[in-house]
C-alpha cells in the first residue's frame, strides 16, 4: 500500500470516529440526563454532564417502574411481540408454501391481496380495525396477535413465497413418496430449509411490533394494558408538567434491550434487512 | 404432485392466515371505504351521505388544514427521500473502503433504525429544544414551524440513513470486481468508474431504497406526533397526523366521516406514488 493511501485511510478512520460520536450523541444525551436531577434537565442545562449536585443515580428508573407502570408495559410489549411474531412465522410460512405449490386462481388472488395490503396506510383502517377488534374481543395483549397476523401477513407471505419459489420441488416430492403427509413434509423438510428466511422475517416483524404505537393504542383496552411506546407517549399526553426524568429513564428502558439484542444478533439483523429489501 | 396433495390441506395451511387477514385488513379496509361515504360518530349511528364528505374537504371550514398538510407531506417526502438516499449512498461508498473500524461504523450508523418512532421523536424533541437554546435563539419546537420541519427531516435522516446504507452496501458488494478491473484497464478514473459502472449496476438498490424512503416519508406518523404533534398551529402537521386529529381530535358527528374520506384520498395518493415511482426507476434498471 502506498503511503498516500495509508494516510488517506487513517484520515477516514478519524473522520468516521468523530461522526460516529455525533451519531450516538442523541442516545448518550438521553442516557446521562436520565441520571440527573429533574431540575437540571431543562433546555438550558440539558447538555451539561451530571455533576456532584445533580447526579441522582437510578432514581428516575425506579420512578418509571413504580409510578408509570414501565415494568408491566415491558411485560405486555414482550408478550405481544413474541406471540405475534411466532404466529406470523408459523401461519405465513405455511400459507407461503401453499400459495406457491398449489398455484391456482384463489392462491394468486390472496397473494396479490397481501402485496396490496403492504401499501395501504394504517390510517385507512384504524377506526374500523379497532371496532372489529372490540367486537371480536381481540382488545387484550393475548389475542391482539391475531390482528398482527392479519396486518403483518403481507410482508411475511411475500418473503416466504419468494423463498419457496427457489426451493427445488423434488425434495418435497421425495418426502411425499416416502409416505409423509403434507404436515410432516412441512415440519421435517420445509422448516429446516426455510430457516434463514424465518430469521429475517422474524426480525423485520419484531422491529415493527415492538415499536408499534398506534395499533395497540387504538385496539387495546388502554385502562388495563399499556405497551412501552404507549407509556412514553402518555408522559406528554397528561396535562401540564412532564416528568422529564422518568420519561428519559423509560426511553432508556426501551432502548437498552434493543441495543443488547442488536449487538448479539447483528449479523442476522443486517441479513434480514438486506433480504427483506431484495425481495421487497 | 405436491400441489395436488397439498390442496386438500387448505384448512390447515392457508385458512388461519386468511381469516386473520380478513379480520385484520380486508374487512376493515372495505368497511373503511364505505364509511368514507357516511356520517357517524360510533358504529351505531351510521348514515349514508354520498360524496358529502369529499365535497366538504374543499371547504376551509371543514377541511382542517388538509391542503396545508397535503403539500407539506409531499414536500417532506420528496426532500427526505433525496437527502436520505444521497447520504445513505455516500456513507455506503465510504464504508465499503478498507480502513480500520469500518464494521464498527456500520454498526453505529444502523443503530437508530431499531428504535421506534415515538421514542425517536422524544429523543429529538429534547435535543432540538436544547440546541435552539444553546444557539441563543428564543425558539422552541412549540413556537417555530421551521425548526419543527427541519427537526423532523433531520430525525428521519438520522433514523434511515443507516438502513439505506446497508442496502447500498449489499448492492455495491454485488458489483463484479472484473467489471471494475475492466473499466480501470480501459483507462477510467475512479469518478468515471463510479458514474459509468457502479451506479448503473446498483439501480435495483436505488429502486428499492427510493421506494422505501418515499412511502415511509408519506406514511410518517409516530415521529411527527412525538416530535412536534403538529405545533405550532398545525404548521408541522403531516397528512397521517392530520387524519388522526380529524378523526379523534374533535367531538361531533361530522368529523369522523371527514377523517375517513381523507384517509381514502391518502391511501390513493400513497399507492399512486408507489406505482409511479416503481415504474419510473425500474424502467431505468432495464436500460442499464
List of domains in chain A: 3-58 (no CATH), 64-279 (1.10.3720.10)
- Write out the E strands in chain A: none
The per-residue pLDDT for range B220-259, each reduced to its tens digit, is 999 999 888 888 888 889 999 999 988 888 777 788 888 8
Q: Is the pLDDT of residue A240 over 80?
A: no
Contact A125 B23 (CB under 8 A): no
Map residue B38 onto helix, strand or coil.
strand
Contact A232 B119 (CB under 8 A): yes
Q: How far is CA B132 from the centre of its chain?
A: 27
Average pLDDT over residues B29-41: 90
Residue window 182-241, chain A: list those with CB within 8 Å of chain B: 182-183, 186, 207, 210-214, 229, 232-233, 235-236
Q: How many A/B residue pairs have CB atoms within 8 Å?
A: 277
Closest CA to A92 of A225, A194, A243: A194
Q: How many residues does chain B have?
A: 288
Contact A125 B28 (CB under 8 A): yes
Residue A99's H or E segment, with its range, is helix A70-102
Contact B126 A29 (CB under 8 A): yes
> Which residues, in sequence order, are CB contacts of B32 under 8 Å at separation 6+?
A124, A125, A127, A128, B260, B263, B264
- Write out the E strands in chain B: 38-39, 47-48
Give the CA dihedral A120, B37, B24, B250, nearest 10 degrees.
90
Residue of A277, A278, A280 to mutate for B, most B C-beta atoms under 10 A: A277
Q: Distance between CA atoms of A123 and B20, rounded to whole angstroms?
A: 19
Most confident of A55-59, A255-259, B41-45, B76-80: B76-80
CB-CB contact of B189 with B86 (8 Å): no
Mean model confidence pLDDT for chain A: 87
Contact A98 B14 (CB under 8 A): yes
Residue window 121-140, chain A: list those with CB within 8 Å of chain B: 121-129, 131-132, 136, 138
Average pLDDT over residues B192-220: 87
Percentage of residues of chain B with pLDDT beyond 70 = 97
Provide DSSP, A202-270.
Answer: HHHHHHHHHH--HHHHHHS-TTT---HHHHHHHHHHSSS---HHHHHHHHHHHHHHHHHHHHHHHHHHH
pLDDT of residue A157: 92
Residues of chain A in contact with residue B99, where contact means CB-CB under 8 angstroms, are 9-10, 12-13
The per-residue pLDDT for range B152-196, each reduced to its tens digit, is 999 999 999 999 999 999 888 888 888 888 888 888 888 888 888
Residues of chain B in contact with residue A273, where contact means CB-CB under 8 angstroms, are 163, 166-167
Map residue A55 onto helix, strand or coil.
strand
Q: Distance between CA atoms of B25 and A125, rounded to whole angstroms?
A: 7
Average pLDDT over residues A7-36: 91
Contact B130 A43 (CB under 8 A): yes
Extract the C-alpha cell encoding B115.
Answer: 428504535
Is residue A280 very low, low, confident or very high in pLDDT (cuts 50, 70, 90)? very low
Q: Distance between CA atoms of A8 and A2, rounded to whole angstroms?
A: 10
How would you label A162-195 residue by residue, b for 16+ Cβ within 10 Å and e otherwise? bbbeebeeeebeebbeeebebeebbeebbbebbe
> Which residues, in sequence order, are CB contacts of A250 under 8 Å at separation 6+?
A64, A68, A70, A228, A231, A232, A235
Contact A9 B99 (CB under 8 A): yes
Residues of chain B in contact with residue A248, where contact means CB-CB under 8 angstroms, are 126
* Geometric angle at alpha carbon A227, from A157 and A84, rounded to 5°: 25
Residue B109's H or E segment, with its range, is helix B102-110
Q: How far is B21 from chain A (nearest CA, A)?
A: 4
| Number of Cβ within a 10 Å radius of residue B233 | 10
CB-CB contact of B162 with B112 (8 Å): yes
CATH of domain B56-287: 1.10.3720.10
The per-residue pLDDT for range A167-216, each reduced to its tens digit, is 888 888 888 888 888 888 899 888 998 888 898 888 888 889 999 999 99
The domain spans of chain B are 2-53, 56-287
Partner B contacted by A120 (CB < 8 A): yes
pLDDT of residue B52: 84
Q: Distance between CA atoms of A169 and B153, rounded to whole angstroms?
A: 47
Amino acid at each position: 500500500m502506498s503511503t498516500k493511501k495509508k494516510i488517506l485511510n487513517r484520515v477516514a478512520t478519524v473522520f468516521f470516529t468523530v461522526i460516529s460520536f455525533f451519531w450516538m450523541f442523541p442516545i448518550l444525551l438521553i442516557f446521562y440526563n436520565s441520571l440527573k436531577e429533574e431540575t437540571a434537565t431543562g433546555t438550558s442545562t440539558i447538555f451539561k454532564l451530571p455533576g456532584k449536585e445533580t447526579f441522582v443515580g437510578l432514581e428516575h428508573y425506579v420512578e418509571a417502574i413504580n409510578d408509570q407502570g414501565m415494568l408491566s408495559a415491558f411485560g405486555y410489549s414482550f408478550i405481544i411481540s413474541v406471540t405475534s411474531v411466532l404466529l406470523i412465522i408459523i401461519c405465513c410460512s405455511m400459507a407461503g408454501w401453499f400459495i406457491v405449490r398449489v398455484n391456482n386462481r384463489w392462491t394468486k388472488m390472496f397473494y396479490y391481496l397481501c402485496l396490496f395490503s403492504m401499501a395501504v396506510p394504517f390510517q385507512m383502517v384504524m377506526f374500523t380495525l379497532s371496532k372489529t377488534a372490540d367486537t371480536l374481543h381481540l382488545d387484550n395483549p393475548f389475542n391482539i396477535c391475531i390482528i398482527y397476523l392479519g396486518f403483518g401477513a403481507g410482508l411475511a407471505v411475500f418473503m416466504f413465497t419468494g423463498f419457496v419459489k427457489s426451493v427445488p420441488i423434488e425434495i418435497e416430492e421425495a418426502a411425499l413418496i416416502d409416505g409423509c403427509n403434507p404436515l410432516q413434509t412441512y415440519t421435517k423438510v420445509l422448516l429446516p430449509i426455510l430457516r434463514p428466511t424465518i430469521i429475517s422475517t422474524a426480525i423485520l416483524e419484531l422491529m415493527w411490533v415492538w415499536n408499534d404505537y398506534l395499533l395497540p393504542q387504538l385496539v387495546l383496552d388502554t385502562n388495563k394494558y399499556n405497551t412501552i411506546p404507549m407509556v412514553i407517549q402518555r408522559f406528554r399526553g397528561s396535562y401540564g408538567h412532564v416528568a422529564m426524568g422518568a420519561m428519559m429513564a423509560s426511553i432508556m428502558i426501551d432502548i437498552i434491550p434493543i441495543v443488547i439484542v442488536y449487538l448479539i444478533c447483528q449479523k442476522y439483523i443486517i441479513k434480514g434487512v438486506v433480504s427483506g429489501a431484495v425481495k421487497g | 404432485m405436491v400441489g395436488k396433495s397439498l390442496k386438500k390441506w387448505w384448512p390447515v395451511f392457508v385458512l388461519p392466515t386468511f381469516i386473520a387477514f380478513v379480520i385484520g385488513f380486508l374487512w376493515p379496509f372495505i368497511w373503511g371505504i364505505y364509511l368514507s361515504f357516511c356520517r357517524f360518530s360510533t358504529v351505531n349511528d351510521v348514515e349514508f351521505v354520498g360524496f358529502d364528505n369529499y365535497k366538504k374537504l374543499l371547504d376551509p371550514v371543514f377541511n382542517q388544514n388538509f391542503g396545508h398538510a397535503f403539500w407539506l407531506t409531499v414536500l417532506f417526502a420528496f426532500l427526505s427521500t433525496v437527502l436520505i438516499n444521497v447520504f445513505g449512498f455516500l456513507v455506503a461508498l465510504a464504508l465499503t473502503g478498507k480502513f480500520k473500524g469500518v464494521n464498527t461504523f456500520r454498526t453505529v450508523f444502523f443503530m437508530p433504525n431499531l428504535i421506534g418512532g415515538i421514542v425517536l421523536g422524544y429523543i429529538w424533541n429534547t435535543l432540538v429544544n436544547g440546541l435552539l437554546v444553546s444557539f441563543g435563539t428564543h425558539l422552541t419546537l412549540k413556537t417555530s414551524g421551521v425548526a419543527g420541519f427541519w427537526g423532523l427531516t433531520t430525525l428521519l435522516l438520522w433514523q434511515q440513513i443507516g438502513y439505506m446504507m446497508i442496502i447500498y452496501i449489499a448492492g455495491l458488494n454485488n458489483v463484479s470486481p472484473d467489471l471494475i478491473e475492466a473499466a480501470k484497464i480501459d483507462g477510467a478514473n475512479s469518478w468515471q468508474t463510479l458514474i459509468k459502472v457502479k451506479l448503473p449496476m446498483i439501480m435495483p438498490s436505488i429502486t428499492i431504497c427510493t421506494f422505501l424512503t418515499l412511502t415511509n416519508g408519506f406514511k410518517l406518523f409516530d415521529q411527527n406526533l412525538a416530535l412536534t404533534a403538529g405545533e405550532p398551529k398545525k404548521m408541522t402537521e403531516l397528512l397521517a397526523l392530520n387524519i388522526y386529529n380529524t378523526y379523534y381530535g374533535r367531538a361531533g358527528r361530522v368529523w369522523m366521516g371527514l377523517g375517513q374520506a381523507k384517509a381514502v384520498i391518502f391511501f390513493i395518493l400513497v399507492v399512486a406514488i408507489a406505482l409511479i415511482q416503481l415504474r419510473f426507476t425500474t424502467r431505468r434498471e432495464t436500460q442499464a
